[in-house]
Amino acid sequence: MENEQIKVLIIDDEFPARKLLSEYVSKIPNLTLCGACEDAMDAMKVMQQQPVDLILSDIQMPELSGLDFIRSLKEKPMVIFTTAYSEYAIDSYDLDAVDYLLKPIAFPRFMQAINKVVERMKAKSAIPYKAEKDFFMVKADYKLYRIDYADLLYIEGQSEYVTFHMKDKKKVTAYYSLKKLEEELPSNEFVRIHKSYIVAISKIESVEGNMLTVAGQKLAIGKNYKDSFLEMLCSRG
């Protein structure tokens, strides 16, 4: 992983910002600069011509903001937002951004963000793989943990980490993407109910309003997930 090249695309309407980020990219051996674009339209052209692993994107730009550009992508590379404005941080995490850098950006802070990218790529290559039919393995704390489907109650997303809540109050916290877990786990056994929660369907004890209970723990049902969740429950009788 250390030698794997990460293809980087910079999007910023200000030349000094593009120049600085290009210099930062050039200092890190496993980063390769694909392009430095002043708007989203130019960035799209680059992405149509070559694969991109990481986008460094400003937010406030003419015609199309960085947030709207990332939302528009069907296949989303990893993204680090680079901006002078702090008020878009929540929006960025809704888009599963790796990091959110406030200008002026110092090189040590940039390096910290790139380390997060490397860690996410490691996690992506490891997450989670099924060994048999009824369990999977996850990496955490330099160890491999076996998590049995039968023991798993719910999974809680916490920024860049997730916590697996299991029977007997056991927990494992690891650097994984909740969205990726949603794709990997069997849909007939687990359901996403909130941007922060995936639950084991068989462990749901009750549903009341916008809340459900799993092992005595009340969890919120997100507005964007409620309809599909209720349809799933109805379909199961």
What are 224's two structure tokens?
A: 């964007």
Over range 85-111, report the average pLDDT. 87
Q: pLDDT category, 211, cuts 50, 70, 90?
A: very high
pTM of the predicted protein model: 0.55
Distance CA 198, CA 214 (A): 11
Domain boundaries, the chain: 6-125, 128-235
- Which of helix, strand or coil describes residue 237? coil
**77 and 55 Cβ atoms separated by less than 8 Å:** yes
**195 and 96 Cβ atoms separated by less than 8 Å:** no
Over range 179-199, report the average pLDDT. 90
The architecture CATH gives domain 6-125: 3-Layer(aba) Sandwich (3.40)
The architecture CATH gives domain 128-235: Beta Barrel (2.40)
Top-confidence residue, 86 or 16: 16
Residues 6+ apart with CB under 8 A from 177: 96, 120, 123, 124, 127, 162
Domain 6-125 shares a fold with domain 128-235? no
Distance CA 41, CA 43 (A): 5
Distance CA 233, CA 228 (A): 9
pLDDT, tens digit (0-9, with 9 covering 90-100), for 27-74? 999 999 999 999 999 999 999 999 999 999 999 998 889 999 999 998
